[in-house]
Amino acid sequence: MWQNNFLILLTLLLINQVCSDYLSTRNEILRAEKSMAVGGSITLTNKEKEANEILLRVKQKELQGVQEDIAKFPPARHFFVMKKDVEKSKLFSILQKLPKGGSLHTHLTASVSLDYVFTSIVSRENLHGCVINGRLKVKFFEKGKTNNLCKWEPIKDLRKKQATSDAWIKSQISLIHEGNPSNAYNSAHNVWNTFINTFATVYDMLAYKPVFQDYLYQALQEFYEDKVFYVEFRVNFPELYELNGTVYGYSEFLQTFSDVVQRFKREHPGFIGAKMIYAPNRALNATQLEQALSTYTTLQKSHPNVLAGFDLVGCEEIGTPLFNFYQQFNKAQNNINFFFHAGETNWYGFDVDKNLIDAVLLGSKRIGHGYALLKHPKVLEMVKQKDIAIELSPISNQVLMLVDDSRNHPATGLIAQGFPIVVCNDDPGFWGAKGLSYDWYMVYMGMASKDAGLEFLKQLALNSLKYSSLPENEKNQAIRDWNVSWEKFIDDLIKDKAKYQ
């Protein structure tokens, strides 16, 4: 009898050991994966751990029931229809207060909220509009003085007409579509055409010098209110103009930009600054590119504190591949910092996703979007080795129809593997966003692990400064200043914990 009992006991001990080994191995895998992900190397202080408990409690509460009813999960739905749900979120309100550092990929002429553009610019005196092939053109003219492009009318007169009502005008200066967005945009090609036409609509309006000054100031204001203290704008240099016909060259444009930024810094303590990445449209030829690079080199010498680098913009799938210009870029890369858009596509093996190869070989300091990176394992390896940051703009990728559901975004794999990610907003004004918090929400709730906490958010903020084009001494000072803001955020979160029960 005792022998049977002994055998039973031995069997139970062996089973327990096997189970213990299995659970131990499983837990070790989970710990290893957490340490590999973005933020995995950060050790939280005791105070940060307390704040992290509050944050995760809010996050887990907002994730309750989403597996059973995906309609409760905003990142799985189109931004146009879930934006209001995000704005009701307690987690979103926390992100709005979090010091996010910088935004390193924002197109200046689509950076300001639609509400401001419509109420404070479209309503101005001397703004005229006309319609060509169903698209609105807007520009400022002195009363009675227009050009012969089309039949110009004061915008206030156009707004009184049913066919060109306020709702229609808003549809011309943004991509926002009420109801089901797929009814308006049935393909990526279709939405990109509208996107490009929207830039064409607002371009002349924003190039009016007094408007440009106010617009840029408002862009900085909206970032500042959203706890973003440094910005790098993509800009295809416009020629600013006055009502009297005066037209300013590129140098005057850069000086105007600098003057507005410096004024904003004086009036907003803690704001670090803003720079520009010169970004002409990629639909150019070799001669035009050489001219653009020459223009940049000349202007960079006279405005070194304004210009950060060079990029090409526009629809990558129909634009000229980087490879076509590798000789010109190779020659210039020792003197110019490149920040190339690359791989903003769902295609594989085409020129557009191969742009990623050339972006890395040409020394791009960061890669805009990099959506196709997972399809290029060797490039992925080089990106990690060279520590090239990926500028992630999740709302843009959804609106421009690369992905429907943020959970399926390829950058989830980059986040899980600890790649250098910076969260950016691309063109927030065109889809009704404001500042950077909406994109942070999409990344944190839709793309990071359910268990990702404060360490993940802290790493994102630090990345935005680490991978900026600020000189090393200014970068270090910016991180020190950010730490002060971060400590205050932690203190406030703990102090207000009752609000998040």
Residue type, 195: F
- Note the pLDDT of residue 198: 96
271 contacts 220 by C-beta, under 8 angstroms: yes
Note the pLDDT tens digit of each residue in 347-398. 999 999 999 999 999 999 999 999 999 999 999 999 999 999 999 999 999 9
Strand pairing category for 366-369 and 389-392: parallel
Judge whether 278 and 309 are in contact, CB under 8 Å. yes
**How do residues 305-338 score in pLDDT, each as one tens digit?**
999 999 999 999 999 999 999 999 999 999 999 9
Using CA of residue 29, residue 31, residue 33, residue 36, what is the dihedral sign?
negative
Longest dimension (CA), the chain: 112
The pTM for the full model equals: 0.94
Token pair in block for residue 139? 């520009």
Name the more confident of 47 and 23.
47
Residues contacting residue 456 through CB under 8 Å, at least 6 positions apart: 37, 38, 39, 444, 448, 449
| Phi, psi of 29, rounded to the nearest 5 degrees | -65, -45
Q: Contact at 8 Å (CB) between 336 and 296?
A: yes
Domain architecture of the chain: domains with CATH: 82-113+206-489 (3.20.20.140), 117-189 (no CATH)
| Per-residue pLDDT tens digits for 214-224 | 999 999 999 99
DSSP state of 186: -
Catalytic center residues? 344, 369
pLDDT at position 12: 54
Percent of the chain with pLDDT over 90: 85
Q: Which residues pair with 213 in a beta bridge?
A: none
Structure tokens at 170: 């808003």
Q: Provide the pLDDT for residue 177.
A: 81
Residue-level length of the chain: 501
- Residue 9 scores a pLDDT above 90: no
> How are strands ordered across the β-sheet holding 127-132?
135-140, 127-132, 153-154
- The per-residue pLDDT of the chain, averaged, comes to 94
Enter the tokens of residue 454: 């404060």
Instruction: Give the whole-angstrom CA distance, residue 246 versus residue 239.
Output: 10
Q: How are strands ordered across the β-sheet holding 389-392? A: 341-342, 366-369, 389-392, 421-423
Helix (H) or strand (E) holding 482: helix 472-495
Q: Where are the alpha helices (DSSP H) in 121-187?
A: 155-158, 166-172, 181-184
Pairing of strands 273-278, 307-310: parallel
pLDDT tens per residue across span 54-84: 999 999 999 999 999 999 999 999 999 999 9
For the segment 177-192, what is each residue's pLDDT rounded down to a tens digit?
877 787 789 889 999 9
Task: Tell me the residue ranges of DSSP E strands in 325-420.
Answer: 341-342, 366-369, 389-392
Q: Which two tokens stand for residue 328?
A: 């010109």
Q: What are phi and psi of 412, to 5 degrees?
A: -60, -35
pLDDT score at 76: 96
223-251: average pLDDT? 96
Half-sphere CA count of 420, side-chain side, radius 13 A = 21
